[in-house]
């Protein structure tokens, strides 16, 4: 009478381990990609928050203090450049009643320079002098 074994053979065990190790290596390689994507997303979110903060502070400033020009500040790892200018407007509109605000946020990510630019227009809130 032949005896049947219900255990795994050494070859079956080695094949199962090889398949498992290929799957684990593939899963481990995904983690750095996800981490980089998360860091990129964090930088973009922080840049948007900095730009929003700069725009909101300019909205609170008196109209007379919003003189055309450019200024740059450092906010941690970010460089914030604010440009105020008179926009080109359609005929019939008073160009002195509107100002274009451009906020450019720059930072270094993975040894590369990155930047995001945000533009808004601020109208004069007080009525024009007649």
Question: Would you give the distance in Å from CA 48 to the centre of its chain?
Answer: 6
28-58 burial code (b ≥16 CB/10 A, e <16): eeeeeeeeeeeeeeebeebbeebbeebbeeb
Q: pLDDT per residue over 82-103, tens digit each?
A: 999 988 877 766 667 889 999 9
CA proximity to 70, closest of 59, 81, 61: 81
State yes or no: pLDDT of 127 exceeds 60: no
Decide: 103 and 121 in contact? Cβ < 8 Å.
no
The reported pLDDT for the residue numbered 52 is 96
| Alpha-carbon span 108 to 44, nearest angstrom | 12
């Amino acid at each position: 009478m032949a005896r049947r074994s219900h255990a795994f053979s050494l070859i079956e065990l080695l094949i199962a381990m090889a398949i498992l190790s290929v799957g684990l290596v593939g899963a481990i390689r995904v983690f750095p990609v996800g981490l980089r994507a998360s860091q990129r997303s964090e930088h973009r979110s922080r840049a948007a928050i900095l730009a929003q903060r700069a725009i909101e502070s300019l909205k609170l400033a008196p109209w007379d203090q919003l003189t055309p020009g450019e200024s740059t500040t450092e906010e941690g790892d970010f460089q914030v450049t604010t440009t105020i200018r008179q926009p080109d407007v359609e005929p019939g509109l008073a160009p002195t009643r509107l100002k274009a605000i451009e906020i450019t946020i720059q930072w270094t990510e993975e040894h590369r320079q990155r930047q995001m630019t945000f533009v808004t227009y601020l109208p004069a809130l007080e009525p024009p002098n007649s």
